[in-house]
Amino acid sequence: MNIDSQGWVQDPRVRLAISPNIERGPMTLVRGIVVHQTDSPTATSTLHSYRSPGANGAHFLIDRDGTIYQTASIRKVTWHVGPLKARCLAEHRCAPTELQALKKFDPRGEHRREMAKAHPDRYPSNQDAIGIELVGQALPVDALKDDDKTFEPVTSAQKASLKWLVSGLCRSLGVTMAEVFRHPVVSRKNRTEAETAVWQ
C-alpha cells in the first residue's frame, strides 16, 4: 500500500477526504487497528460531522457500497477508542492485585491502569491505533426500549473493502492481524458494534 509522507494512502481505491478537525497531534507508531460502526445514516452525514470544530472521528470511513474514504492522516492521532478495558481479563492473565482492583466498577481507573502498561499488555489506544468506521446504524430492537439497540449488518461490499484496507495497512505498518479489534472488545461500547465485520 502506497502511503505518502503526509500519512495519506495514495491508491485509486481510497478517496482522500481529510478532516483536520478530527486530527489530534502526531501518532509516531501504529500498534493496532480498531473497527467501528458509525451509528449514522450515511457516509455524507459522517463526513459532514467531521468538519465541525472539535469533532471526533477515525482515520477511514467505509460506505455501504464499499467506497473507502480516508478522513485523517495515519500519522495523526484521532479520538475513536475511548477508555480501555483490561486486556488481561479477556486473556485470562491478570495478576491477583489487578483482579482485585477490577472488582470495583471504575472504567476511568481501569483505563488509567491500562495506559500505564506497555502494548501488547494493553489493547491499542487512541495514541497508537488506526480507526476504521463502517457506515451503519444502531436500531432499536424494541421501539419502546430505546437503550437496547442493535447495529445493522455490515454489507458484503464493506467486508471486501475492509479486508483489502486492513491487510494493506497491516503489511505496510508491520501490524499483525492479532492486533485488529472490534470496538466493543477494547472499550465499553454496544456489544453489537461491528459484530458482523470480518477482515480475514
Considering the complex, state which of residue 11 and residue 195 has its C-beta at the smaller distance from Zn ion.
Answer: 195
Determine, following the binding rule CB under 5 A, whether residue 111 of this chain makes contact with Zn ion: no
Stretch that binds Zn ion, among 7-15, 144-152, 167-175, 181-189 (CB under 5 A): 181-189
User: Which amino acid belongs to residue 140?
Assistant: P
| Rounded Cα–Cα distance for residues 132 and 165 (Å) | 9
Select the residue interacting with Zn ion from 31, 36, 87, 122 (CB under 5 A).
36
Contact 137, 151 (CB under 8 A): yes
Considering the complex, state which of residue 159 and residue 183 has its C-beta at the smaller distance from Zn ion.
Answer: 183
Closest chain position to Zn ion (CB):
36
Determine, following the binding rule CB under 5 A, whether residue 87 of this chain makes contact with Zn ion: no
Determine, following the binding rule CB under 5 A, whether residue 59 of this chain makes contact with Zn ion: no
Stretch that binds Zn ion, among 6-14, 21-29, 31-39, 157-165 (CB under 5 A): 31-39
Considering the complex, state which of residue 87 and residue 183 has its C-beta at the smaller distance from Zn ion.
Answer: 183
Select the residue interacting with Zn ion from 27, 183, 186, 197 (CB under 5 A).
183
Considering the complex, state which of residue 36 and residue 111 has its C-beta at the smaller distance from Zn ion.
Answer: 36
Distance of CA 139 to the CA centre of its chain: 20
Three-state secondary structure readout of the chain: CCECCCCCECCCCEEECCCHHHCCCECCCCCEEEEEECCCCCHHHHHHHCCCCCCCCCCEEECCCCCEEECCCCCECCCCCCCECCHHHHCCCCCHHHHHHHCCCCHHHHHHHHHCCCCCCCCCCCCCEEEEEECCCEEEEECCEEEEEEECCCCHHHHHHHHHHHHHHHHHHCCCHHHEEEHHHHECCCCCCCCCCCCC
CB of residue 107 vs Zn ion: minimum separation in angstroms? 15
Determine, following the binding rule CB under 5 A, whether residue 182 of this chain makes contact with Zn ion: no
Stretch that binds Zn ion, among 119-127, 155-163, 171-179, 183-191 (CB under 5 A): 183-191
Stretch that binds Zn ion, among 15-23, 59-67, 109-117, 175-183 (CB under 5 A): 175-183
Determine, following the binding rule CB under 5 A, whether residue 75 of this chain makes contact with Zn ion: no
Pairing of strands 145-151, 138-142: antiparallel
CB of residue 129 vs Zn ion: minimum separation in angstroms? 11
Residues that bind Zn ion (CB under 5 A): 36, 183
